Amino acid sequence: MKIAVIGCGYWGPNLVRNFVQSNKVRELICCDLDQKRLDRMKNLYPSVNVLSDYKELLKVPDLDAVVIATPVKTHHPIAKEFLEQGKHVFIEKPLTHSYDTALELVKLAEEKKKVLMVGHTFEYTAAVNKIKDIVENGELGKILYVSCTRVNLGLFQPDINVVWDLAPHDISIIMYVLREYPVSVNSQGKAHFKPGIEDVATTTLNFKNGIVAFVHNSWLDPNKIRRTTIVGTKRMLVYDDVEPQEKIKIYDKGVEVPPYYDTYAEFQFSYRYGDIHSPRIDDYEPLKRESEHFLTCIQKGLCPLSDGYSGLRVVSVLEAASKSLKQNGKAVSIKGLKILAKKFRNNGNGFLMTNGWR
């Protein structure tokens, strides 16, 4: 296939490396407005071609697909032009900067029968897939709540707040593992440096089945923390993505309430302090899985695991969180629940919609 990667800044080169190494790719074109970034790509991978204006790519014959890793607000206009031309499109997270623009791309991809995939990278990690298995096997019991912390110092983004920057990963992990999407969110935060751009925020996701998830994001923290805690009635799980080994720990800990008691004096919680277990997880590069999956979906006409609807679900949560931030944490309903519910089918393999829709 002939593929183009648009945006070779911080993240784009990781995508370029994986697509260059794929035996499914015969030609790769790198595109960026910044000539220095193109020179760097050409130095690293002499076989790639380079272009500075993405509009020129629209004229390239036999181009199969584009991979977009530009700033978030440019995702929609760029992707729209390529989908309209009948190209397959991969977009880095978050899919777009608003629900309406995300839905427009989803519908366009359906109409043109092209693959639209979003870079929810964590859905391709061995750790998150292990956690999904553990939750689905009932090892943790009934899930009570989830708590995620994704904080570090910087990088301040000029045009999007910390929720749009960091929370897409947490939200996609939560929805992927729980197979549920929230009905409303509350978000509170503060813009300390740039007016209107919150640099710290805590978002609460409220699910219909009673589960609650807390997501804390910050660009103003001395430590890099990437931790997800899932608390169930039987066990508790901690996923620490910064840990080089033993990323997942399952704690056989819990609280038990006595089934019968007559008086308040008899009522006592009992706490269980059991073993801690760290399951083995495979070692592979998630981005390689993700990029190969995109190419396979194009070749075989399949719907990706992180398809346009998956991107739309995350964007709808981000948009509601941003609205809530401006209203001091007031609960905001998720937009488009009916559309999301219609497409939120499960064939037993994650969120795959319908295979072979072409």
Ligand X SMILES: NC(=O)c1ccc[n+]([C@@H]2O[C@H](COP(=O)([O-])OP(=O)(O)OC[C@H]3O[C@@H](n4cnc5c(N)ncnc54)[C@H](O)[C@@H]3O)[C@@H](O)[C@H]2O)c1
Kindly list the residues in this chain that would bind ligand X in the complex (CB under 6 A).
6-12, 31-34, 37, 54, 69-72, 74, 92-93, 119, 121
Spatial CA neighbour of 95 closest among 66, 119, 65, 67: 119
CB of 34 to ligand X, least distance (A): 4
In eight-state DSSP terms, residue 160 is S
d(CA 3, CA 62): 9
Using CA atoms, how far apart are residues 256 and 233, in angstroms rounded to an integer? 9
Nearer to ligand X, 136 or 159 (CB): 159
CB of 248 to ligand X, least distance (A): 19
- Rank residues 156 and 261 by Cβ distance to ligand X and give the closer one: 156
Q: Would you say 103 or 162 has its CB closer to ligand X?
A: 162
- What is d(CA 239, CA 150) in angstroms, rounded to the nearest whole number? 12
For ligand X, the closer CB: 39 or 111: 39
Beta carbon of residue 259, minimum distance to ligand X (angstroms, whole number): 46
Nearer of residues 141 and 286 to ligand X, judged by Cβ: 286
Of residues 34 and 136, the one with the C-beta less far from ligand X:
34
The helix or strand, by DSSP H or E, that contains position 31, with its residue range, turns out to be strand 27-31
**Beta-strand relationship, 236-240 and 220-232:** antiparallel
Vertex 322, ends 72 and 197: CA angle to 5°? 65
Residues in the chain: 358
For the bound state, the minimum distance from the C-beta of residue 320 to ligand X, rounded and expressed in Å, comes to 19
Smallest gap, in angstroms, from Cβ of residue 9 to ligand X? 2
- Nearest approach in angstroms of CB 11 to ligand X is 3
The answer to whether 239 and 247 have CB atoms below 8 angstroms apart is yes
Cα separations (Å) of 2 from 30, 49, 67, 139?
A: 11, 11, 11, 44
Burial class (CB in 10 A: 0-12, 13-18, 19+), 80: middle
| Cβ-proximal residue to ligand X, closest one | 9
Q: Would you say 6 or 238 has its CB closer to ligand X?
A: 6
CB of 102 vs ligand X, minimal distance in Å: 13
